[in-house]
Amino acid sequence: MVKHHVLLAAGLLALAGCANARQTSSGFIPDARPATDFVPAAEAHDEVTGPLTLDLCIGLALANNPDIAGGTAQAAAARHQADISAAQRWPTLSAVGSYGHHLNAQRLAPASGPNQPGAYGRDLFGGDLVLAVPLYTGGRISSEIRASDLLRRAADHELVRTWHELRFNITSVFYAILGQQHVAESVAFSHKVLGEHRKRVEELIGAQKAAKVDLLRTEVRLASLQQNLVQENNRLDILKRVLVNLVGLDGSSLEAGIKGDLVQPDAQEPEVDMAATLDAAYASRPDLLAARAATQAQTEELKAVRAGLWPDLSLQASYGLKALGHPSSAPAGSDDYEDVGQVGLVLDIPLFEAGRTRSAVRRERAKLVAQQQKLRKLELQIRLDIETAVLNMNSSLERVQATQTAIDQAQESLRIEREKYTQGKGTITDVLDAQSALVDSQTSYYRALADHSTARAQLQLATGQ
């Protein structure tokens, strides 16, 4: 009899495996994981030897930035949730133990024939292997599997988008630092030149060729330049700290310095093809791909909840032993233990649940509408991002060209005004105005260079590159 039940249980397991094979071969389970260009770093680095280049900053951020670490963990959680959902299509096998004490003696096992004697007792022990196989769930399991896999894909795309945004933020701050360094150097150089001019004014006053008020005006301008220099250096220090924060390092890395060059833009840069750029963004931008996957996942969630209106059919089987603790009645030839087994179909038909499932369906449908509108908003935002990046590129390019010419003119103007003042043909006000114009032109030029490099990175971010 034991052998018979063992064979029965083995047959049920084989049947479950066949049923699962038919289910997975239907093709509704997507491939395991989409290929991405993001590979998390194995370990973080806290020490930096040498100056920080742009590539080094990006590499360090991949290992140290908490947003990347958190996004990686969220993507891993989504993959585990997909594994949990996929496990629903497999049978479950569990071992169940039981003990019961009864007021009246109970028969160890049901009689299998008329007038069959049996053993009785008040304490019953049991141990069973229980097998459950889902046969029909109205599409709930398959929909939940698809939804979880789509959400896993969405998490992967969101992680890639987080990485793209971090790279852009690092790039923009890095170029802002390069531009700010040139601005601070320009102000410092102007302060030095004006200091030399102050000595010349003192010499002219000694020779009675200049008034003392010229020296006062020069000193006022020197004080103003000193104040500007302090402000520009403070901005530079803040930008460096922002960069270190994005990279995920501590403040000690500031001592390493920043190494890089601002690239002079090509005056004949080709115009951006808006239609082709938009098509590329719609095809590859990670946050849009994540939103699309989330919308599809919500559609599957709606199907899974709607499946609750349909019956559930499952195969259930068990096999095990029952034993009496202290037999109160045991006829001759009977044992105080018995192996028992059963197999059957269980049909669960929802008849009345106070509208719970239908309310859940309406809730998921409302979530789907909200997700669809979120997707539409993102598509509109992508167009705005690209147009903004293109306008910023064109504007910064024009600013670079204009200020580059203005620097040459301001330098020549300052030279002429200083010579005129030395010869007694000009005023100190003209010299100070020319010197101020030169500083303004240099500041605008270097910031325009940094803005153009940032705008190029902004366009890459907008298109998902």
In contact, 253 and 247? CB cutoff 8 Å: yes
349: Cα separation from own chain's centroid: 42
Q: What is the pLDDT of residue 20?
A: 38
CA 263 – CA 173 distance, rounded (Å): 15
* pLDDT tens digits in sequence order for the chain, 465 residues long: 444 443 344 444 444 443 333 333 333 323 333 334 444 443 445 556 668 888 888 888 888 888 999 999 999 999 999 999 999 999 999 999 999 999 888 888 887 777 777 888 888 999 999 999 999 999 999 999 999 999 999 999 999 999 999 999 999 999 999 898 888 988 888 888 888 878 877 877 887 777 788 788 888 888 988 898 899 899 988 998 888 888 887 765 566 677 888 777 776 677 778 888 888 889 889 999 999 999 999 999 999 999 999 999 999 999 999 888 877 766 766 677 788 899 999 999 999 889 899 999 999 999 999 999 999 999 999 999 999 999 888 888 888 888 888 888 888 888 888 888 787 777 878 888 888 888 888 888 888 889 888 888 899 899 887
Phi, psi of 128 (to 5 degrees): -135, 150
Examine residue 37 and state whether it is found in any structural domain, yes or no. Answer: no
Name which of 220, 196, 221, 216 is nearest 422 in CA terms. 196
Name which of 44, 130, 23, 40 is nearest 87 in CA terms. 23
E strands, 185-336, in order:
312-324, 327-329
Examine residue 241 and state whether it is found in any structural domain, yes or no. Answer: yes
Q: How far is CA 55 from CA 167, 259, 390, 449, 457, in A?
A: 10, 10, 24, 19, 14
CA 179 – CA 166 distance, rounded (Å): 20
Which of 76-98 are b and which e, b meaning 16 or more Cβ less than 10 Å from the residue's Cβ?
A: eebbebbeebbeebebeeeeeee
- What is the C-alpha R_g of the chain? 39
Please calculate the CA angle 340-346-347 and round it to the nearest 5 degrees.
170
208, exposed or middle or buried, with CB in 10 Å at 0-12, 13-18, 19+?
A: exposed
CA 305 – CA 33 distance, rounded (Å): 25
Phi, psi of 463 (to 5 degrees): -90, -5
Examine residue 25 and state whether it is found in any structural domain, yes or no. Answer: no
Beta bridge partners of 98: 126
| H-only helix segments in 53-139 | 54-64, 66-86
- Per the structure, the count of domains in the chain is 1
Q: What is the CATH number of the domain that holds 193?
A: 1.20.1600.10
In contact, 178 and 258? CB cutoff 8 Å: yes
pLDDT one-digit tens code per residue, 382-426: 999 999 999 888 888 888 888 888 888 888 888 888 888 787 777
245, exposed or middle or buried, with CB in 10 Å at 0-12, 13-18, 19+?
A: middle
CA dihedral sign, ordered 315, 320, 325, 327: positive
Place of tokens 């402000």: 231
* Residue type (1 letter), 232: E
Place of tokens 């509408």: 369
Examine residue 235 and state whether it is found in any structural domain, yes or no. Answer: yes
Examine residue 385 and state whether it is found in any structural domain, yes or no. Answer: yes
Examine residue 124 and state whether it is found in any structural domain, yes or no. Answer: no
CA 370 – CA 295 distance, rounded (Å): 9
3-state secondary structure of 442: helix
Beta bridge partners of 134: 314
Examine residue 216 and state whether it is found in any structural domain, yes or no. Answer: yes
Range of the domain at 246: 46-64+139-310+355-463
Examine residue 168 and state whether it is found in any structural domain, yes or no. Answer: yes
